[in-house]
Amino acid sequence: MSSFRSPRRALLALPLGLAALTTSAAFAEMPDWKLDGDATAGKVVANDRAKGNCVACHVMAGSDSPGAIGPVLIAMQTRFPSKQALANQIWDATVANPEAVMPPFGKHEILTHKEFVDVVEYIWSL
């Protein structure tokens, strides 16, 4: 018997693999964290090309070589109704827009708890 698997059979197995993902941390909701970060430390993380790297896609005041994929990060307190709403966006932008290309920084644990709240504080200050 051949070891070849039919495409139909492979597709039937796909939902089983997806079901296993639903129990992972990849679908974690944002914890109820106190959002009292340090904006100065958050600026460092947001501009760090190896960590937050917000500057790769967003123009931010005082940042070198910003990208132009995402919106300009200005007047954030007028664009988001609360710091929590901004934090939710940074945690997982695909909740508000399933086609978002922004990485889910919190959900995928790209940032530590401290880095996350610091970045939120910094972006909120813009």
CATH of the domain at 71: 1.10.760.10
> Does 14 fall in a domain?
no
Give me 25's structure tokens. 């941390």
Q: What is the pLDDT of residue 92?
A: 93
- Residue from 86, 95, 71 nearest 120 by CA: 86
Q: With beta carbons less than 8 A apart as the criterion, state whether 95 and 88 touch.
A: yes
What are the pLDDT digits (tens) for 69-106? 889 999 999 999 999 999 999 999 999 899 999 999 88
Whether 22 shows a pLDDT value over 70: the answer reads: no
Number of domains in the chain: 1
Q: Is the dihedral of CA 105, 108, 112, 113 positive or negative?
A: positive
> Does 67 fall in a domain?
yes
- Report the distance separating Cα 45 and Cα 100, nearest Å: 21
> Does 38 fall in a domain?
yes
Range of the structural domain that residue 107 is part of: 31-125
> Of residues 54 and 9, which shows the higher confidence score?
54
- Report the distance separating Cα 53 and Cα 50, nearest Å: 6
**Residues 6 or more apart from 99 whose CB is under 8 A from it?**
none
pTM (two decimals): 0.74
Q: What is the CA radius of gyration of the chain?
A: 18
> Does 25 fall in a domain?
no
